[in-house]
A and B are shown apart, each in its own frame.
Chain A
Amino acid sequence: MKIVIEALIVLLILTNLKLIASSRLSACIRVVAVQGVLLGLMPLIAGQEALTLRIAALSGLTMLLKGVVFPWLLLKTLRSANVRREIEPFVGYAASLMIGAGLLFLAIWMSRQLPMPFAVTSPLIMPLAFFTMMIGLFAVISRRKAITQVLGYLVMENGIYAFGLVFAQHEPLLVELGILLDAFMAVFVMGITIFHINREFDHIDADRLSALKG
């Protein structure tokens, strides 16, 4: 059991690193989809108690939304926006990987400063949650294309979800569903916004928005 959970966590960490190391936008979207499915599997495997209908519904819905609906929406936007690659990110890819390794150390150090009020299935879940949130934030600030920034937001939400997993048994279903609905609405609205920005300006470089004059 332990080895399955650890393998899942290692895979999740690797998806995070892959996200900041790859320049093809469609590959980034697929990585985030894989991450969503892996996160959806987590409560099924890592649950300390017997599998309840509530947990099964929660993980099924997560996998459906993060693994199918979000990637589909984003790939559709990508096709209409007619961009393939992140050409000039603010931070290069090799440097991003190094920063990613540094963030991993920071995440582990942080989670060791926080004593847990109850036993956790794996000591690596907390670092994973912090690391995923940090990678999401890093993707938002270090990339130029609006789609990568949406992906960063999604990964950040995945991190919050992983954080919630630790408390999955202690958290009401309504809160989880609310967060999922929020993320869904955000991705939906951002997809439409990117489409319109692209139609108006012929590119989706978010940094050039600051040069707009009212």
Chain B
Amino acid sequence: MTDLSVLLGPISALVLAPLIPGIINRTKAVVAGRTGQSLLQLYADLLRLFRKGAVYSRTTSWVFKAGPVAGLSCMAVSLAMLPLGGVPGAMAFTGDLIVMVYLMGLSRFFTAAAAMDTGSAFEGMGASREVQFSVLAEPALLVGLAAVALAAGPAGLFDAGPVVNGFRSLSEIYHQLTLSVWANDGAILLLAAAALFIVALTENCRIPVDDPNTHLELTMIHEVMVLDHSGPDFGMILYAAALKLWFFLALLSGLLIPVRSENLWINGISTIIGIFFLAVGVGLVESVMARLRLLRIPQLLAGALSLSALALVLVLWG
């Protein structure tokens, strides 16, 4: 039972992740009064792309080909450590949340390097923007998770040996986020969740930061870096992007839905339902908000950082 349920997180992520962009698009379409594309559109797109061949420019090197592969594999490895609410991740060890955040950094590095390898000025601009915003998003994510870890209380249950308070595996931290933690430190968890939501929108290039539908080179951030990829490479990029969206929504959903019953299946499935609701929420945010001016984005991210700093301060000295 326990052995099987460990696989629930990674398998549900790999299977269900392409559904999330579909849900977001459907929400936007319904709000705008359109019918919208099929919920399974991304699956069809991925199938189509993986059947195609890739075209490589003569000016690119192996770095360009490594970008999509490294991006997808980094996401797959970090999904193995991701807890699904109360269900522990397939791999859980002390400090895995830091490894996860830096795996994201590694995948970002490879995507940016592949973009610069093409020698296109547009792609270099996109890479510069992506890296600039992640400088502010990364500390907000880490500090927010640290606040959650400290709020969840000292190490317990499936703890292997003495561990410094707060620096444990993410699975264990999430396992201890019960309803009583919410009753005691609800304000702290809400602040951290708000910061995580902003970071999730930034990292996944959703609307207040970047518009995933635009193809105007001057405004896009993430899309501009992958303009030259084609066929299976582009398929891998799209799939990795869907996995990343799933990853952040699962982090948020596990934080916001404190279902920690004895039955791991109930925990996991309630978290997955939470992920779907969060996807609808992202769609609603995209429907009611306009894209921010590029100059305002660092301010938004500084806001996220100060929200998580506030959460950390409250949990340390509150």
Contacts and interface: CB of A to CB of B under 8 A. Distances in A.
Interface of A: 3, 6-7, 10, 13-14, 17, 21, 93-94, 97-98, 100-101, 104-105, 108, 112, 123-124, 127
Contacts of A104: 306, 309-310, 313
Contacts, number: 55
A2 B314 CA distance: 13
Given A3-B183, A10-B187, A94 B298 contact: yes
A3 B186 contact: yes
A100 B187 CA distance: 19
A100 to B, nearest CB: 6
A10 B306 contact: no
Contacts of A3: 183-184, 186-187
Nearest to A102: B309
B303 A97 contact: yes
B317 A127 contact: yes
Interface string B275-307: 000000000000000000000001101110110
Contacts of A97: 299, 302-303, 305-306
Given A97-B306, A104-B310, 7 more contacts: A3-B183, A6-B187, A13-B310, A17-B310, A21-B303, A98-B306, A101-B309
Interface of B: 183-184, 186-187, 191, 298-299, 301-303, 305-306, 309-310, 313-314, 317-318
Contacts of B299: 21, 93-94, 97
A188 B302 CA distance: 35
Contacts of A101: 305-306, 309-310
Contacts of B317: 108, 112, 123-124, 127
Main secondary structure of the interface of A (DSSP, over half): helix
A124 B310 contact: no
Main secondary structure of the interface of B (DSSP, over half): helix
Given A17-B303, A97-B303, A101-B306, A10 B314 contact: yes
B314 A124 contact: yes
B318 A98 contact: no
Given A10-B187, A21-B299, A94-B299, A100 B306 contact: yes
A6 B310 CA distance: 12
B313 A98 contact: no
Most buried by B among A14, A97, A112, A127: A97
Nearest to A2: B184
B104 to A, nearest CB: 22
Contacts of A94: 298-299, 301-302
B306 A17 contact: yes
Contacts of A6: 187, 314, 318
B302 A10 contact: no
Contacts of B187: 3, 6-7, 10
B136 to A, nearest CB: 8
Nearest to B300: A94
A112 to B, nearest CB: 7
A44 B313 CA distance: 26
Contacts of B191: 10
B303 A105 contact: no
Contacts of A98: 302, 305-306
A6 B314 CA distance: 9
Nearest to B318: A124
Most buried by A among B186, B306, B310, B318: B306
A94 B184 CA distance: 32
30 contacts: A3-B184, A6-B187, A6-B318, A7-B186, A7-B187, A10-B191, A10-B314, A13-B310, A14-B310, A17-B310, A21-B302, A93-B299, A94-B298, A94-B299, A94-B301, A97-B302, A97-B303, A98-B305, A101-B305, A101-B309, A104-B306, A104-B309, A104-B310, A104-B313, A105-B309, A105-B313, A108-B313, A123-B317, A124-B314, A124-B318
B192 to A, nearest CB: 12
A105 B312 CA distance: 10
B287 to A, nearest CB: 23
A101 to B, nearest CB: 4
Contacts of B309: 101, 104-105
A213 B85 CA distance: 68
Contacts of B303: 17, 21, 97
A21 B305 CA distance: 13
A100 B317 CA distance: 17
Nearest to A111: B317
